[in-house]
Amino acid sequence: MNISANVIKEQWNQWSDTWYRKYRSDEVIAKIMKSPESAFPSKTYAMIQEAMPDMSGKRVLVPSSGDNHAVFAFHLMGAKVTSCDISEKQVENAYEVAKNNNWDIEFICDDTMKLAEISHNEYDFVYTSNGVHIWINDLKSMYKNIHRVLKQNGTYIMFDIHPFMRPFGITASKSLTVEKPYDVIGPFGEIPTYKWRMQDIMNAMISSNLNISHIEEMYADHGSFWVDDSSDDGEQLSEQELEDYCNWSKNPLAAIPQWLSIKATKV
């Protein structure tokens, strides 16, 4: 494993045992158990339903599984799920949630750019969720291995921050600012992250021989998207204040699509 990957792994191991634990609270898990579809944006969920109308018995892989909300949701929909993450702590903590609920989920510690522990042609469906691409320094390797582990005619769907969001910020007075040119992709920071463009993501899929069949550019389902999830600020805002974040006349960034989902198939 390279130095960059080791730094990212250690940081996620720390986050998993500190503020990240709120993503495993009883309240959060109960919401997923009641409504598994709540783990996905509404339009992404519609894409998943169209691709896999019946998850029963399907082999599903979630690389860079993070909070594992999608993993738990797919299991509750009847799929045979494998959760894969580079952070041992994320895997261990998600395993504890699954064990406490008697959920039969496979957990593997592995790098999404390698998927070395995953066999060829193994999965009907692969899904990556919000926040994956920013940690990936080699998109081509990631998508080459997603293609490798999919069965023939298997489906891949991704959901992540829309690249058009990456250059912009907003001031306290709600004025739009440009923080970087669109084509400056990184790495940024001591814990290296990347801000990939549409062409980087799509060309990596194409080069892996995944057949892109559908794209959704989406707006956030709820104003909580705009609140820093490492703080408790959102809990202090009224529903009206959260709604105002989704109004582009009050929040100029709301005029830009915030989320992106892409569906592709191994043919």
pLDDT score at 1:
54
CA atoms in the 13 A half-sphere facing the CB of 20: 17
Question: Please, are residues 16 and 24 in contact by the beta-carbon 8 Å criterion?
Answer: no
The identity of residue 30, as a single letter, is A
The identity of residue 223, as a single letter, is G
pLDDT score at 230:
47
CA distance 106 to 71: 10
CA atoms in the 13 A half-sphere facing the CB of 190: 2
CA distance 46 to 218: 12
CA distance 126 to 155: 6
CA distance 91 to 68: 9
| Angle of CA points 68, 92, 134, to nearest 5° | 50
Give Rg (Cα) of the chain: 18
pLDDT score at 18:
84
Give every residue of the chain whose pLDDT is below 70, as ranges.
1-3, 228-235
Model confidence pLDDT, tens digit, residues 122-134: 999 999 999 999 9
Which residues lie below 8 Å from residue 200, measured CB to CB, with a gap of 6+?
139, 163, 185
**SS3 at position 172:** coil
* CA–centroid distance for 233 within its chain: 22
Question: Please, are residues 117 and 179 in contact by the beta-carbon 8 Å criterion?
Answer: no
Question: 31: buried, middle or exposed (CB in 10 Å: 19+, 13-18, 0-12)?
Answer: middle
Provide the 8-state DSSP code for 188: B
Please report the domains of the chain, with CATH numbers, ordered by start residue.
Answer: 3-266 (3.40.50.150)
pTM: 0.93
Structure tokens at 28: 């959060």
Q: In 196-219, which positions are buried (b, 16+ CB within 10 angstroms) versus exposed (e)? A: bbeebbbebbeebebeeeeebebb
pLDDT score at 138:
97
pLDDT score at 228:
65
Question: 6: buried, middle or exposed (CB in 10 Å: 19+, 13-18, 0-12)?
Answer: exposed
Neighbours of 88 (CB within 10 A): 14
